[in-house]
Structure 1
Amino acid sequence: MAKAKQLARPPKKQKAKSSEPQTADEFQEAADFEEETGGKWRAGDPAKSGRAFVRALEIYDKGLQKYPTSFDLAYNKARLELEVTQRPALVSHIGLPLVDLLKQTLESHRYALRLNEQNPDALFNTSQVLTSLAEQLSEAGDTATAIPLLQEALELLSACCSRQEMLLEQQQADFADAEDGGVALESMEDVPASTPGSEDSGQMATIESPVTAHDLLDTVHASLAALTTLVALVEHHALDSLGDMAQSLTESKAPLYVGMLPEDAREQASFTVALDRANFVAAFADAQFTAYLIESETYLTRIEDIFSIPNKDQDITALTCEAEARTEYTFSVLTRFTGSPEFPTDICWKQVKLAQDLYTKASKLESSARISLSRGDVEMLRHRIATLPNVKLADSVRRSAPTLAQNAQTYYKGAVRLATDEDGELRGKAGRRLAVIGHLRALMYGIELDATDAMGAVLNRALGECVEEGLMDVDLADAIIAKGSG
């Protein structure tokens, strides 16, 4: 997710501290102090960092009780909540489940927007909360709630883009007036912008930073990310309109904004747009294939074409995104042809092999728990294909099954080892996968179970996740459960 947009503020004034803030300005300074404290402890002590952020939020609440129309206080409270939701290690110290915290954060953003509905940063950040909440709800199976949230996010991003374009045009006109010898309007960088509804309490005014082409590209990036999530959730009749939106962003708006950048920044920006487009096209093709609107050959051709991005082998994100797209292709084709001798084994085997190769390249650029977990999942999927009954498979593929299971176990152990405090959820998932592969190897290949391998409810949950994500079929999961309870 894109980083939350910050409102720029003037340097703090040195002043004697009072026991309690009195003005909106003082409430903001007190909250700033706690935010700085939280930032210092973020890496070393998440609990202490979380407590500081909670104190900052309490100060914002007290300030808003006294100055309910202060946009600065409302915006910065919402912005801090958004930042906390993006750091799993902090969420556990806030005292709310992530979904509940995101709902609270959404209400804070909507409050700030009511005070200044045209502020581009508030529009952008609100869209990010909506997208994050929708992703959490869709993962929990609540698609009906997630879809309108994503649609609202896209509406806000469209409004944000329009506002940014208007402000940029105004800035360029002011600059042209100055170059022509006229009297230029004062720069937005130097003049405090008024915040509608703020009390005249002697508080510092917010300074809005000038809009840049980078800001417009951030909005395009966020819009494409929301569209990529949405296409997997909507009914097939809604796909064409989403495709048109993505096409307009990537073929009309993005090239225009890239052209506004300094020449030395254009190549990287174009690469980012190309990757955003590739992620959307892959998700769009998957949605069309799932809806029986295209066949697997068309789906695969689109993936091959769209990820032909120059210099992608030196970019971790590009490598992992292509690997995910090829893995998702295999999942979807396997789902359609489960139990059928028509399953295109050679094609799908090649795709998961290519996916593993891409993850291997990424791991050489950066070793991470997330990549190790993904590599384990690919080996699990390859193991499933290698043990499919009633399909034609090369003998070498059949014989590779025990090695694939062993490889998956190795990668899952690596994910657990590499996971940091920020990766708590990922570590838990890797640990559950590790238990599954241990039981699978015990059942299928007679490998002795490790004493730490999970049993009971934990194992059942882990097996359910693997079945849901297509890493193993339900018959194998049932056999593991039966053996564990026998």
Structure 2
Amino acid sequence: MAPPRLKLSKKKQNSAKLVDTEDYLQSGDSHEEAMRKHRVGDPAKALRFADRALDVYSQGLAKFPRSFDLAYNKARLELEKATDPVLSEALDIPIINVLRQALSSHHYARDLEPTHPDTLFNMAQVLTGMAEIMAEDDKSDDSEAIQDLEKALEIQSHCFQLQQATFEKSRSELEQAMRETAQQETSPIEGQATTDTTTEPQNVNQEEQWVSIEEPITAVTLLETIIAQIEALSALCSILSSAQTTSSMSALSWIDGYSTILLTQTLPILLSKNQETLEPRLPDVLLPRAVFMSNYLELSLRLSAIDVEKYKQELDAAFTQPGLDGTSENVLLAIANALLSLNSALADSNSETESHAAFRWKILIDAQSRLSSVASIPNIDKHTLATAHLLRGDISLFLQILAYPPVAHPQAQTTTPQLLKHAEVYYRNASKLLGSLGPSTEEERITCELKGALVNVLQQVTTNQATAGSRSGQNSSGMMINMTASPHQIESVLEPILRVRREDWVKDHIEDMISEGLILPQVFSAII
């Protein structure tokens, strides 16, 4: 959701000179309007107008440091710069730097008005965004990201309480006004004098005033705050699953308590009291809720709080909620990602049994089927289609890896050549689609190209192994790949990528694929 914005009622005339806060607000707003005008056609120009608006707000705050409107607009626009997909792509500095500045600005605005709901909501969004970026950085401390998410949830909870109080007060006042109006209509006062509707002519030359108007708190506002909390909880579970810190179990207990109140009390009550208003928005909350349940279940399994059977049962229930369209691309992608998370949790459990291998094969095939449905949707967005192909390539490698010990799955053994061929095709298709989208997807494109190149190495190695097994009269099924690709073999395949990316970038990505369980480390031991 875009950061809530203070709107303009009237603009002050003849404000070429920036004298008071209204002048600065009007000037900044005009730059923001220009930013939105150029946002689609010229992102770089839009970003320049955003920076001009920020400069105006900063100048205004230097003269009027107690102006909340200036402080709020500055903080909000910094958040928008970091989170708007078009503006953030045009940035020449890391997004997290912009978010850190936005956090500082939100602290300033909150100090001026501690109970302003939109400021609190936006501040929580800043913290969530920072946590997600830090979690993606292998060099960052996950504990800091976890702390930011916990702060975000505390702020969102406080924000919701303030919004709810305002909403209930407004609804109560409206109902009271409606009752008084109805009473007046049914009991007219006799002899009431005719109201003189004549008014004094207004001075058309009178200077108009700039007024900030805030959006009223509605049931939809409350729902959006709940969704933000669910998404922050989901991110927290995901980070904890990767971090596996000593405090993860206590964090799981805290998440359990927070989410139980939110999902079994707060949300149902809001939906039941505002059914007519919120029914069209129901899918907006059901999918984030399902994704949260997926991440929560993964964390619970990794901490041995539930078993695999309970995990799969609850996962199926989460994605079959009434009102959730299981044929939509977003839901299909979410289910596929949820199944991939389950596969990763099983792979990391060190419980290598035939039943686990068979179960992993089954859920990976299910995920592949969901992605196939995504790819067959008519007129699907190119980036979504590329994402589906990329995931299908990953799944083919996950399936192929099941062919090797300690538990070699028979179906994986017999289909290894086909699985590698499929992976190569999927990565190639994803790379082509991403390449057609321009510079904004270059990092994703080159990653797909790298994965396709590594598949080529795997194809050579498995072919050589099969040939060696055939010459010796032995069946190589179920054997660990005992051949390491030579440095020359690997470098010749990676040559096109090494022209545009440094060697350490390539090695980092290979190590990531090994840690994710996509490829076997011994195949690439010559270069890592």
TM-score range for the pair, normalised by the shorter chain length = 0.7 to 0.9
Could you tell me which residue of structure 2 aligns to residue 195 of structure 1?
none
- Residue of structure 2 aligned with 1:244, choices 257, 262, 279: 257
Please name the residue that 1:199 is paired with: none
Q: Does 1:169 align with 2:168?
A: yes
The alpha carbon displacement at 1:180 in A equals 2.0
User: RMSD over aligned Cα, in angstroms?
Assistant: 2.9
Say if 1:89 and 1:421, in contact at 8 Å, map to a contact too.
no
Q: CA deviation at 1:214?
A: 0.4
Mapped partners of 2:86, 2:48: distance in 1: 12
Paired position in structure 2 for 1:29: 26
Number of aligned pairs? 460
Q: In the alignment, what sits opposite 1:219?
A: 225
- Match of 1:181, SS state, is helix
Cα deviation for residue 165 of structure 1 reads 1.0
Name the counterpart of 1:337.
Answer: 350
Decide whether the 8 Å contact of 1:177 with 1:183 is kept in 2.
no
Q: Deviations over 1:344-395 (max 9, x none)?
A: 1211111111112222223334233245235323433432432342255555
List gaps (5 residues or longer) in structure 2.
184-207, 241-246, 464-491
- Mapped to 2, the partners of 1:374 and 1:111 lie a distance apart of 42
Q: Is the contact between residue 320 and residue 326 of structure 2 (CA under 8 Å) also seen in structure 1?
A: no
Q: Percent identity?
A: 27
Aligned partner of residue 3 in structure 1, secondary structure: coil
2:288 equivalent in structure 1: 276
CA separation of 1:422/1:246 partners in 2, compared to 1, >3 Å: closer, same or farther?
A: farther
Q: TM-score, normalised by structure 1?
A: 0.86
Q: Are the structure 2 counterparts of residues 280 and 24 from structure 1 closer, same or farther at C-alpha, using a change threshold of 3 Å?
A: same
Kindly indicate whether residue 104 of structure 2 is the aligned counterpart of residue 107 of structure 1: yes
Spell out the pairing of 1:424-443 with structure 2 (5 A cutoff).
426-443=441-458
Which range is displaced more, 153-162 or 367-376? 367-376
Equivalent position of 1:206 in the other structure: 212
Change beyond 3 A, Cα 1:349–1:367 = farther
The partner residue of 2:520 within 473, 477, 480 is 473
Tell me, in whole angstroms, the C-alpha distance in 2 between the residues paired with 1:175 and 1:231: 41
Q: Please state how far the C-alpha of 1:440 moved relative to its aligned partner.
A: 2.8
2:358 corresponds to which residue? 346
Letter in 2 for 1:380: D
Match of residue 505 from structure 2:
458
TM-superposed CA distance for 1:59, in Å, is 1.0
1:162 shift after superposition: 0.7
Question: For residue 142 of structure 1, what is the aligned residue in structure 2?
Answer: 141
Q: Distance in 2 between matches of 1:409 and 1:34?
A: 48
Check the 8 A contact 2:427/2:451 in 1, yes or no.
Answer: no
1:154 to partner: Cα distance:
0.9
AA partner of residue 438 (structure 1): A
Q: Could you give the per-residue CA deviations for residues 52-88 of structure 1, whole angstroms, max 9, x where no partner exists?
A: 1111111111111111111111111111111111135
Q: Which structure 1 segments of 5+ residues have no match? A: 185-201
Deviates more, 1:254-263 or 1:41-50: 254-263
- The yes-or-no answer on 1:409 pairing with 2:424 is yes
Query: Quick check: 1:123–1:160 contact (8 Å CA) kept in 2?
Result: yes
Query: Which range moved further: 369-378 or 31-40?
Result: 369-378
**Offset, 1:153:** 0.7
Note the C-alpha offset of 1:303.
1.0
SS of aligned partner of 1:336: coil
Q: Give the match's secondary structure for 1:180.
A: helix
- Structure number, greater radius of gyration: 2
Partner of 1:193: none
**Paired residue secondary structure (2:304):** coil
TM-score by length of 2: 0.80
The worse-fitting range, judged by mean Cα deviation, of 294-303 and 51-60 is 294-303
1:89–1:424 Cα contact (<8 Å) kept:
no
User: How far is 1:171 from its partner?
Assistant: 0.7
**Alpha-carbon separation, structure 2, partners of 1:470 and 1:291:** 20
Match of 2:266 in 1: 253
